[in-house]
Amino acid sequence: AQSVTQPDIHITVSEGASLELRCNYSYGATPYLFWYVQSPGQGLQLLLKYFSGDTLVQGIKGFEAEFKRSQSSFNLRKPSVHWSDAAEYFCAVGRISGNTPLVFGKGTRLSVIA
Amino acid sequence: NAGVTQTPKFRVLKTGQSMTLLCAQDMNHEYMYWYRQDPGMGLRLIHYSVGEGTTAKGEVPDGYNVSRLKKQNFLLGLESAAPSQTSVYFCASSRGQGAEEKLFFGSGTQLSVL
């Protein structure tokens, strides 16, 4: 069964600094990978997704993520963080076949300081 | 275009009471999901549906029942609420799974069981 690990529970960065949120997955084949963001009091919104092809994917709000098969990772990055990026971020993995829903990581809470 | 609508947004129950959470989507999506979100636990799947008239158990189904009588609606029922069911509940829908598994989330229902 697939699983997702987000090693960092909480990260604090300064506004304007770069950001990298880690995600590691466990799956026997190439999975579908997603990053979702949850602003306070809201539901989750899709940031970006990887299915195949180019391992560097671009998403909304200036985020990008890189799929590294050798490391079973799909880390989320942003070159310059804005205060509005403060939120909780979830990595998720899906299977290519079968009616098996996404499996979510436990999330990383991002705080942004001035 | 409302997307995914959850009602109610807040609810307080006494132990043993029953209630139903309603999720409605207007995107003609086949797949619908109920998750619960607890601090430090991320999102955990309760039940899901792959089409009208179908339901399936997720990771934490005990104490909950669901019904999908109409394609646009997915109901989550608590027959006898327990304090352990205090949580934030999210409904989501998607057009498909795998490559089409972009989830659209509602804004959540905050449930407290006293």
| pLDDT tens profile A1-53 | 778 999 999 999 999 999 999 999 987 777 889 999 999 888 899 999 998 88
> How far does the CA of residue A15 sit from the closest CA of chain B (Å)?
25
Q: Is the pLDDT of residue B101 over 90?
A: no
Q: Is the dihedral of CA A9, A10, A13, A15 positive or negative?
A: positive
Confidence of residue B99 (pLDDT cuts 50, 70, 90): low
- Is the link from the previous residue into B8 a cis peptide, with omega within 30 of 0? yes
B38, with CB counted inside 10 A (0-12, 13-18, 19+), is middle
Angstrom distance (rounded) from CA A24 to CA A4: 6
A82, amino acid identity: H
Contact between B90 and A41 using a beta-carbon 8 Å cutoff? no
Q: Is the pLDDT of residue B100 over 70?
A: no
Least confident of A17-21, A72-76, A106-110, B37-41: B37-41
> How far does the CA of residue B32 sit from the closest CA of chain A (Å)?
10
- The residue of chain A nearest to residue B9, with distances taken between CA atoms, is A41
Q: Measured between beta carbons, which residues in chain B are less than 8 angstroms from residue A51?
A: 99
Residue closest to B1 by CA, chosen among B70, B96, B104, B73:
B104
pLDDT of residue A96: 58
Give the Cβ contact number of residue B89 at 10 Å: 22
